[in-house]
């Protein structure tokens, strides 16, 4: 065996993991609900939109892993170099989306859990138990526990999702396949649906910051520094897997729910159970556990990842705002991290307890915020990765920078078009 090649593979496997955690964050509601619903409403008409959204947003996310490996700093430090206002904006976006995301994911998972066991447990209490389970995994296992648990959940997710798609594949009708949905937007689905699909496909851009923090946390866990090449490769594995699964979820909706005589629910959790029921009705009751495992693994892996990601980002942002930027503090998790990990689920629990009926509107608001701020945070990421803090050999090439600007212009233009549509 070639020794340098063996050494390269060894270093990659040692650093492997942050890209999968990023994938777990992304393969949540955007896939199970939005991708599947795109297939259910319009067949394969949204495939082109999803592929383009993934391609345009790829640089924004890749820069997180690249920046961390090249500088030994997180993107939060990169934002600080831009200016304190950038940190405050990122913190505001994080706080707005954190509670809504935790409440939505925990309610979603609670609904699926009750459905799986045929129980009528209180929704808020079930959600609290599930969030508590995530906190327990992180409290006991720390980053290593997160890393291992996510890999197990994603293995279950991939196997069950691929199996779900394969059993329904003979029913696929590719006649609706398109690069652009055309008249579908505005007639079959509203413009807001397109906005949500692009905004959270594969995830909000602020998750790139988490990716940089997870890259550094992995290094601390293994005791070895991840090279830029390994960090990019690790992220690429997670990103490509996320993209493939998005298309698989579209096919799941297109093959079982498209043109079915079923009134699809606007509530994501109810919609997911409709998907399970339709599979059972169409293909037989034997398919029910496969689809149910896919749905539950999708949401729980995302819930676990965000339970760690939000507190990690909040702690690092507040540390930078206070001027605590020493290199040895970048991977440290302290009182703010653990305090946020208790406070955020607690607030999410009270939302489930008293405002669950308003959660759909809250999620719509968070989705809109994610979409409208994507070009801003994407620009921050570009500024950070092309700054003097990054060695020239690790900065993105001309092609990547060009793709970034194309993404910024198109996402920004779509955002402006949406705002104009609200005024009219």
Read off the pTM: 0.87
Domain hosting residue 180, numbered range: 18-423
Whichever domain contains 139, its CATH number is 1.20.1740.10
Residue 157, in any domain of the structure: yes
Identify whether the C-beta of residue 272 lies closer than 8 Å to the C-beta of residue 112.
yes
Residue 6, in any domain of the structure: no
Question: How confident is the prediction along the chain (424 residues), in pLDDT tens digits per residue?
Answer: 455 544 555 555 565 678 888 988 888 777 777 888 888 888 888 888 899 889 999 999 999 999 999 999 999 999 999 999 999 999 999 998 888 889 888 988 898 899 888 888 898 899 999 999 999 999 998 888 888 888 888 888 888 878 877 877 777 777 777 777 777 776 667 777 777 777 778 888 889 999 999 999 988 888 878 889 989 999 999 999 999 989 988 888 888 777 666 666 766 667 777 777 777 776 677 778 888 888 888 888 999 999 999 999 999 999 999 886 665 555 567 899 999 999 999 999 988 887 766 666 777 777 778 788 889 999 999 999 999 999 999 999 999 999 999 999 988 888 887 788 777 6
Total domains in the fold of the chain: 1
pLDDT digits over 158-217, tens only?
888 788 778 777 777 777 777 777 777 766 677 777 777 777 788 888 899 999 999 999
pLDDT digits over 302-329, tens only?
999 999 999 999 999 999 998 866 655 5
**263-266 contacts at long range (C-beta below 8 A, 24 or more positions apart):** 264/37, 264/40, 264/41, 266/360
Residue 323, in any domain of the structure: yes
Residue 29, in any domain of the structure: yes
Residue 65, in any domain of the structure: yes
Residue 4, in any domain of the structure: no
Residue 1, in any domain of the structure: no
Identify whether the C-beta of residue 211 lies closer than 8 Å to the C-beta of residue 26.
no
Residue 372, in any domain of the structure: yes
User: Token pair of 97, please?
Assistant: 């989306």
């Amino acid at each position: 065996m070639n020794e340098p090649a063996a050494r390269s593979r060894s270093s990659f496997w040692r650093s492997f993991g942050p890209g999968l955690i990023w994938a777990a964050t992304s393969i949540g509601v955007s896939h199970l609900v939005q991708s599947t619903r795109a297939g259910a409403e319009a067949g394969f008409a949204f495939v082109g939109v999803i592929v383009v959204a993934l391609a345009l947003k790829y640089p924004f996310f890749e820069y997180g892993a690249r920046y961390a490996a090249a500088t030994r700093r997180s993107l939060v430090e990169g934002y600080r170099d831009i200016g304190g206002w950038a940190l405050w904006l990122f913190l505001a976006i994080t706080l707005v989306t954190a509670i809504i995301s935790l409440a939505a994911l925990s309610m979603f998972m609670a609904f699926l859990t009750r459905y799986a066991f045929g129980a009528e447990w209180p929704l808020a209490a079930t959600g609290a138990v599930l969030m508590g389970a995530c906190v327990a995994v992180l409290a006991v296992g720390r980053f290593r526990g997160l890393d291992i648990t996510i890999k197990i959940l994603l293995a279950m997710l991939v196997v069950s999702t691929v199996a779900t798609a394969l059993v329904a594949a003979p029913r696929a009708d590719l006649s609706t396949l398109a690069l652009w949905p055309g008249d579908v937007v505005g007639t079959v689905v509203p413009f807001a649906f397109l906005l949500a699909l692009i905004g959270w496909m594969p995830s909000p851009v602020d998750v790139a910051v988490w990716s940089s923090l997870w890259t550094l946390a992995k290094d601390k866990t293994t005791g070895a520094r991840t090279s830029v090449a390994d960090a990019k490769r690790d992220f690429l594995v997670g990103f490509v897997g996320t993209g493939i699964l998005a298309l698989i979820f579209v096919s799941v909706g297109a093959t079982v729910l498209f043109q079915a005589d079923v009134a699809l629910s606007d509530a994501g959790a109810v919609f997911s159970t409709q998907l399970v029921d339709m599979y059972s009705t169409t293909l037989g009751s034997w398919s029910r556990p496969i689809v149910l495992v896919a749905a539950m693994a999708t949401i729980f892996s995302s819930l676990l990842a965000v339970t760690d990601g939000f507190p990690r980002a909040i702690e690092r942002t507040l540390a930078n705002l206070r001027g605590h930027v020493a290199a040895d503090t970048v991977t440290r998790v302290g009182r703010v991290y653990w305090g946020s990990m208790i406070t955020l689920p607690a607030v999410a629990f009270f939302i489930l307890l008293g405002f669950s009926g308003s959660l759909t509107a809250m999620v719509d608001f968070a989705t809109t915020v994610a979409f409208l701020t994507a070009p801003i945070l994407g620009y921050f990421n570009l500024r950070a990765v092309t700054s003097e803090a990054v060695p020239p050999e690790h900065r993105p090439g001309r092609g990547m920078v060009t793709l970034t600007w194309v993404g910024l212009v198109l996402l920004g233009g779509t955002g402006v078009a949406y705002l104009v549509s609200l005024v009219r």
